[in-house]
Chain A
Amino acid sequence: MIALLVGGVLGWSGSTKLFGRNTPVQASGTVLERKLGGLPRATAALRAVGAAELLVALALVALPVPLATGALAALAGTGFAAYLGYARATAPDSSCGCTARDKAPIGVRAFARAGFVLAGGAVVLADGLAGAGLPAPAGGPWWEALRDGPAAALGLLAAGAVLAWLLFGDPDRAVRLPLRRLRLRLFGHPLHGGPGTAGDPEAVPVEGSVELLERSLAWQTVTHVVRSGLREHWDDEGWRFLRYTGLYDPGRQGADGAEGAGRPVSVVFAMDAKAGLDSPRPPVIRVGVVDEETGERVDVTAGRERPGALLGEGV
């Protein structure tokens, strides 16, 4: 029965790799993709592995020569484990390519899958060695085992199938998620009144002010000067201040594009600390641009006819 079980698992896994539409998805993120120089080659390699798995599966299921088929399966399991070990050593973040759904980095479960095939192959191999006077743990070809003791054989098959499902299937989705849903139904949403909702209900998170600013005309008007992301923020007397840094040089703007051209400036925006994207009226936003070295106010809009594309482009 072990041969049937391992053959079934290898057959499913091999045919998915060989014929599946998702094989490129499966190959992406694997060490194969990185080492073979691209997804097309990694996909071809994965399909070749799938074909080999399918052949071993057919041999396991159809051929009554456990010595050979067991050795093949054990070899396949060893190969998988060696590949996983190599991938983990050379590219720890890569996924194993075992299934299209599972793009998580190689972990214990991936090694357990290889171990399952290796152990199954070893049992079948041991069965083959029974000819040399050793005990036969798998009890001969699966059809003979099924004929001689159908209840025991089917029980073994069912237990093996559960183990295979735990290793190769998606038990999380089937078991853990429904349990979590049930817990939410029974005990309510844990984030009602949680850490995020303890403050002033009218308070706008700073990110909300930034979002409002970056979609405003004020931003559009001075964005050609701004080069940084948000540097700092503070609230004072109902206002929220957001500071950015940038470069401004009216003499050279549009001239030679020299590196670092321009005077370093602070661009400070002031807005209602409680204004957000869903505020009923357009926000009032004030803008001040200050020369970092002299402390003088700078008028950065003089002579500008359009909002500029400050950051330029690259390919």
Chain B
Amino acid sequence: MACSTNYLWRGEATWFCCGAAWGPCGSAGGGACGNCRSASNHGAWPNASAACWDITRPDLCGEGGIPRRGCGSVMRVVQECSKSAVCITITDCGPRTKSFCGEAACCNGVCRTNRILDLTPAAYSQIASLSSGKTGVWIYE
């Protein structure tokens, strides 16, 4: 598992804060793996562990095949529309896929549905504007 060329998954990515932080993010903590930081290229994966799966439940949105990738897994995230890319390390569990089933982010009519990745601001801002909130991505490893 590395920042490489093998297709892993595709869907919608959002961003979140973690680690020591300002404002309401201050209580977010270091995430499920304990070392998540907003200013590092980190991410949250919905199947980071069995306990994580119980929280995110992507299977309820038809994303039951998302493979297990635990703390420290490395992925390459490519934005659907611009093709800009960033390499991230999984340090947390998320997003809460089950609460947003069917939500889509499209590019030129091609849509990626369901939230399957949360990125830190550092990582997300390299592939999209933080003010966009969510974006379609392809994930490789």
Contacts and interface: CB of A to CB of B under 8 A. Distances in A.
Contact of A313 (B33, B86, B106, B131): B86
Given A94-B27, A95-B27, A40 B82 contact: no
A28 B132 contact: no
A3 B10 CA distance: 57
A310 B105 CA distance: 20
Given A93-B21, A215-B107, A309-B82, A29 B132 contact: no
Contacts of B82: 219-220, 223-224, 307-311
A282 B107 CA distance: 11
A92 B83 CA distance: 40
B61 interface: no
B60 interface: no
Contacts of B33: 39
B24 to A, nearest CB: 9
B129 A105 contact: no
Interface in B1-54: 3, 20-22, 26-35, 41, 51
A105 B27 contact: yes
Interface string A55-98: 00000000000000000000000000000000000011111000
Contacts of A223: 81-82, 84
Nearest to B89: A315
B85 interface: yes
Nearest to A310: B84
A230 B131 CA distance: 9
Contacts of A38: 30, 34-35
A29 B29 contact: yes
A28 B129 contact: no
A211 B30 contact: no
Given A216-B108, A309-B82, A313-B87, A210 B132 contact: yes
A306 interface: yes
Contacts of A214: 81, 128-129, 132, 135
Contact of B34 (A33, A230, A309, A315): A33
Interface string B98-113: 0000000111110000
Contacts of A219: 81-82
Among A38, A308, A311, A312, max chain B CB count under 10 A is at A311
B34 A215 contact: no
A302 to B, nearest CB: 19
A277 B76 CA distance: 28
A24 B136 CA distance: 31
B77 to A, nearest CB: 9
Q: Which of B29, B106, B107, B131 has its CB near the most chain A CB atoms (within 10 A)?
A: B29
Contacts of B90: none
B127 interface: yes
A229 B125 CA distance: 10
Contact of A309 (B35, B85, B87): B85
A277 to B, nearest CB: 8
A210 B134 CA distance: 12
Interface in A283-315: 306-315
Given A93-B21, A93-B26, A308 B81 contact: no
Contacts of A310: 82, 84
Contacts of A312: 84, 126
A207 B51 CA distance: 36
Contacts of A277: 106
A220 B129 contact: no
Contacts of B29: 27-30, 33, 39, 95, 103
A105 B87 contact: no
B26 A105 contact: yes
A39 B34 contact: yes
Given A28-B31, A104-B27, A309 B108 contact: no
Nearest to A223: B82
A214 B31 CA distance: 30
Given A310-B84, A314-B41, A315-B89, 5 more contacts: A29-B30, A42-B34, A215-B107, A313-B87, A315-B41
